[in-house]
Amino acid sequence: MFTGIVTDQGEIVALQQEGDLRARIRTGYDVDRLDIGASVSCDGVCLTVVTKGRDPQPWFEVQASAETLDKTNLAAWAPGKRINLERALKVGDELGGHIVSGHVDGTATVVSLRQEGDSTRVRLRAPESLARFIAPKGSVALDGISLTVNEVEGAEFGVNLIPHTKEATTWGTLREGQPVNLEIDTMARYVARLREWS
């Protein structure tokens, strides 16, 4: 489990297709304290550390299955790309965002970016199948970032980025038309499922 609070910006340094996609990610994390088998949120996708090392900068490698590539934007990863990273939540950690599983539901597309004072208002379009789970003042995880939904109009919804979010994450370089990993709020998913049975 994660919180959607990004703690590092990693960099893709190598990719290899070997049945699954294997990615090497340069990180600021202390890899001596990153266990093989640990879960790391990589642009919002929960991936497992399969090896690690230094060259001399610290790095770790993960594997992404065909299902993951189909549901996310990871198929567009390329060497040099910066990604949002978050270590798994530990018991007793502060829950600063919201409960995020790292199980991405699909991708949303950036429709527009507009400056509002120092902040940026971002409008996105969700897949029709996921739009019903997004509610005003609810939470979503976008590329692993916990954000509050401002407004919803059909399949489109808006979020606000404060300057800190743009500096601490990869979203300082966000552009129109960009696909971003979308994880709907876990509670919304369960409420919808319960309504199907009532």
Q: Are 120 and 114 in contact (CB under 8 A)?
A: yes
pLDDT at 198: 64
pLDDT at 193: 67
Give how far Cα 140 sits from Cα of 32, 46, 61, 78, 111, Å. 32, 15, 27, 25, 17
**Structural domains of the chain ordered from first start:** 8-87 (2.40.30.20), 106-197 (2.40.30.20)
Nearest-angstrom CA–CA distance, 39 and 132: 29
Q: Are 139 and 183 in contact (CB under 8 A)?
A: no
> Which stretches of the chain score pLDDT less than 70?
190, 192-193, 198
Helix (H) or strand (E) run with residue 16 in it: strand 8-18
State the Rg of the chain over Cα: 17
Q: How much is the pTM?
A: 0.93
Helix (H, G, I), strand (E, B) or coil at 115: strand
pLDDT digits (tens, 9 = 90+) for 37-55: 999 999 999 999 999 999 8
pLDDT at 94: 74
Give how far Cα 20 sits from Cα of 6, 67, 73, 82, 102, Å. 25, 10, 15, 21, 18
pLDDT at 115: 95
Cα dihedral sign, 186-42-86-143: negative
